[in-house]
């Protein structure tokens, strides 16, 4: 944990204004740095094909999970057995793939630049935004107690180590249907935090996540609903509001979508059948 914190947080001298007083203070700030994601396609008796996929602004830490999650949620890979190896550099990561038969190099042209606030920036067309889930369909026919849902913000606050130090970072957390925390990831980018979770579970061959609950620390945007759908998630909660396209995407993929969640209230936008009242 100490090593992760060192990569994710930097201390800077600032001046705090308290009333009429100016006070020097050492403040923890969340790190934001670029990460270049590239792939190498390994084919027997053929030259290696190298391709730069994305430059994303992220908080360092769990870079391998981030890269794998990004490749999965963008539909570039479908399973961990396609990954031959991973090479980490200074703010760069290369994923070697040993199965190229399902990889469309033309499709990869849509990836260019991903800021910490936008997960779809730089895609070449509206059609390029949508990706197709290749996991088997699931009914996800569980129910979650209406009061259990209100407990998740408190759990997230306790587990957000980087946020508690900096106040400037997002989180995504995955729970089982009994409300037990499975994993949490933090990042300056909402979509990066989710990719880190999904990438971590792709490497463990634990997808689909159709018996899990996803909690997001910010708003529920279209890109986050789509990434969750790619991983087979059918229950999403968010502290903030969903967008209209996020609600449409949730309906399309039979996802229960909750917004404005805190310890006392929440709004149900889609899929009330999974909430026990």
Told to judge if 118 belongs to the known catalytic residues of this protein, a careful annotator would answer yes
Contacts of 190 (CB under 8 A, 6+ apart): 119, 170, 172, 216, 217, 218, 219, 221, 224
Instruction: Report the alpha-carbon distance of residue 73 to residue 25 in Å, rounded.
Output: 41
Phi, psi dihedrals of residue 23, rounded to the nearest 5°: -125, 125
Catalytic residue among 118, 135, 268, 275: 118
Q: Which residues contact 178 (CB under 8 A, 6 or more apart)?
A: none
Output the 3-class SS for 10-23: EEEEEEEEECCEEE
Burial of residue 231, with CB atoms counted within 10 A of its CB: 0-12 exposed, 13-18 middle, 19 or more buried: buried
CA dist., res. 97 & res. 104, Å (int): 13
CA atoms within 13 A on the CB side of 188: 21
Q: Classify 149 as helix, strand or coil.
A: helix
What is the set of active-site residues? Answer: 118
């Amino acid at each position: 944990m100490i090593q992760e914190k060192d990569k994710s947080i930097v201390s800077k001298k600032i001046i705090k204004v308290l009333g009429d007083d100016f006070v020097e203070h050492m403040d923890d700030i969340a790190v934001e740095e670029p990460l270049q994601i590239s792939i190498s396609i390994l084919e027997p008796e053929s030259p290696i094909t190298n391709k730069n996929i994305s430059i994303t602004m992220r908080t360092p830490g769990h870079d391998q999970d981030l890269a794998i999650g990004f490749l999965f949620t963008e539909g570039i890979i479908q399973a961990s057995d396609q990954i031959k190896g991973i090479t980490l550099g200074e703010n760069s990561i290369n994923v070697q793939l040993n199965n190229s038969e399902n990889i469309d190099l033309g499709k990869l042209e849509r990836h260019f630049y991903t800021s910490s606030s936008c997960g779809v920036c730089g895609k070449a067309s509206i059609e390029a935004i949508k990706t197709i889930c290749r996991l088997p369909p699931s009914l996800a026919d569980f129910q979650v107690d209406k009061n259990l849902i209100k407990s998740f913000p408190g759990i997230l606050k306790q587990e957000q180590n980087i946020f508690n130090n900096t106040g400037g970072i997002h989180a995504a957390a995955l729970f089982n249907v009994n409300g037990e925390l499975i994993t949490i990831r933090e990042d300056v980018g909402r979509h990066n935090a989710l990719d880190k979770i999904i990438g971590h579970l792709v490497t463990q061959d634990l997808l689909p996540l159709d018996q899990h609950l996803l909690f997001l620390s910010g708003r529920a945007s279209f890109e986050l609903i789509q990434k969750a759908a790619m991983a087979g998630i059918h229950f999403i909660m968010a502290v903030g509001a969903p967008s209209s396209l996020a609600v449409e995407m949730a309906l399309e993929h039979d996802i229960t979508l909750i917004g404005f969640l805190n310890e006392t209230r929440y709004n149900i936008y889609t899929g009330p059948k999974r909430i026990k009242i």
